[in-house]
Every structure is written in structure tokens, then in C-alpha cells.
Amino acid sequence: MMSQFEELDYAQTPLGELILRRRRTTRGSEVFEVKLNGEFLMSSLVNDSEVALAEEALNELDGQDHSVVIGGLGLGHTTAAALAFSTVASLTVIEVLHEVIAWHTNRLVPLAARLVGDPRCAFVHTDFFDWLRLSPEDLHHAILVDIDHTPEHLLADTHRSFYEPAGLTRVRKRLHSGGVFALWSGGDPIPEFISKLESVFDSVEARPLIFQNPLLDIEDTNTIYIARKP
């Protein structure tokens, strides 16, 4: 049960109606939730797979002084997990909605101070898919993406080409040798998407994460796709 709702931010965005709200449970803990067009997009109560996106990807890297890019900021769980790695020298977080960046710069969400206060971390307000097409000579050690629900269930139809071989090839070209591309997805691994990854990358894994979802009171599954450039 919940005892209180507080709307922290409301905006009409290119992706639709965006709401950040906070609720306090009857036990006194705070839960931060994001809704887009009336549907739950994310919750601070369910973040294990967002953390795993960073951990699974960055544990694959050798060496030090890594340059990392994250597509999608959200509540900041993936970004915070990446900053926990001392091997990360620079972290660029690309977010299409300036409202989401403002949640952090204005300290509206719990992880904001940690992210804003880390000199390695920079927020960039632009479309990740547009960014990918620019400056192809700008290479990184890891590119992590958490934007759409799945490669098939998209926030916008304009994202669709990213999940095709041509879009995945653009990711590969932005990676250093030995670099890693990691993608968060709701649900079970999608064989068709794995095949597309395998047509572009030399090493591909789909790692399902099974967890108890307290919002739905069910056992749920998310998937982290990991692809490596030799």
C-alpha cells in the first residue's frame, strides 16, 4: 500500500507526457517512479537489471582509462554503477529529454548528487541515435544502451533502424578494438535480434536476469545483450 504521492515534474515531450513522481510507502521508504504516456517506464524499486547493464559490460573490458558512453539516463542507476568502476576515465551520458537531465542537475532524484558531483561524468542533451551517426572517428571502449522497452517494443518508431544490422554496424564502428556494446531489454532473449547482432559482431551473448518484480508481484525477466568487437 502507499500513503502518499507527490508529482515532482510534469512535461509534454516529443515522446509524450512525462511524469516524475515520488511516493512514500507505509513503511516510510521513498520510491521514485517515471511514467510516459500513462505507462510505467521505470521505478527506483526495480533497478537490478539497470545496474547489471553496467556491471556486465564493464567487467568484460581489459585495461584502464576506459571511455564509456551510455544512451539513456533515466533515474541514473546504470550511470552510477558505471562510475563505481575505477577503470572508467570518462563517462558520457546521452539523453534526448532535457527534462530528465534536469531531474539530476536540480537534484530531484536520489542518485543525482553522485552523478553530478563526479568529474568523470558528463550529460549530453541530444538524440543517441543521431549522435551515433556523427563523428565516426570518435571511439569508445564501451557503449551501453537502455532506451526502448525491447528491440521490438519501441518508444518511437524512428528507433527501429538502430536494431537492424546497419544500425548495429554504426555501434561497432564507434568501438575501440576489444570494445563492448551492451543493450538492456525487458523480457526474454529475442532469437531474431541475437541473429542480427551475430551478423555484425564476432562475439554475442544474451544474458537473462530473473528477478522478483515487487511492482507486479511476479517473477520477471530482463535481458542484457553483450556484443564484443575483436
3-state secondary structure 167-208: HHHHHHHCEEEEEEEEEEEECCCCHHHHHHHHCCCCEEEEEE
Q: Could you report the per-residue pLDDT of 98-108, keeping only the tens digit for each? A: 999 999 999 99
Q: Could you report the per-residue pLDDT of 107-147, keeping only the tens digit for each? A: 999 999 999 999 999 999 999 999 999 988 899 999 999 99
145 contact partners, CB below 8 Å, separation of at least 6: 70, 71, 72, 128, 181, 182, 183, 184
Mean pLDDT, to the nearest integer, of 60-68?
Answer: 98
CB atoms within 10 A of CB 10: 12
Q: Could you report the per-residue pLDDT of 164-223, keeping only the tens digit for each? A: 999 999 999 999 999 999 999 999 999 999 999 999 999 999 999 998 877 767 799 999
Mean pLDDT, to the nearest integer, of 68-88?
Answer: 99
Percent of the chain residues topping a pLDDT of 70: 98
pLDDT of residue 211: 85
Per-chain mean pLDDT for the chain: 95
Alpha-carbon gap, residue 125 to 102, rounded angstroms: 10
CATH numeric code, 47-228: 3.40.50.150
Mean pLDDT, to the nearest integer, of 21-45?
Answer: 89
- Residues 208/221, Cβ–Cβ less than 8 Å: yes
Q: Could you report the per-residue pLDDT of 160-177, keeping only the tens digit for each? A: 999 999 999 999 999 999
In order of 17, 18, 72, 182, the CA distances from 111 in angstroms are: 23, 19, 15, 22
pLDDT of residue 1: 40
pTM for the full predicted model: 0.95
pLDDT of residue 65: 98
Q: Could you report the per-residue pLDDT of 43-53, keeping only the tens digit for each? A: 998 899 999 99
How is residue 17 written as a grid cell? Answer: 507526457
Angle at 109 between CA 107 and CA 113, to 5 degrees: 50
- pLDDT band at 31; cut points 50, 70, 90: very high
CB atoms within 10 A of CB 122: 12
- pLDDT band at 27; cut points 50, 70, 90: confident
The arrangement of strands across the sheet holding 88-95 comes to 121-125, 88-95, 66-71, 140-145, 175-186, 218-228, 203-213
Torsion of CA 79, 66, 91, 157, to 10 degrees: -80
How is residue 122 written as a grid cell? Answer: 558528463
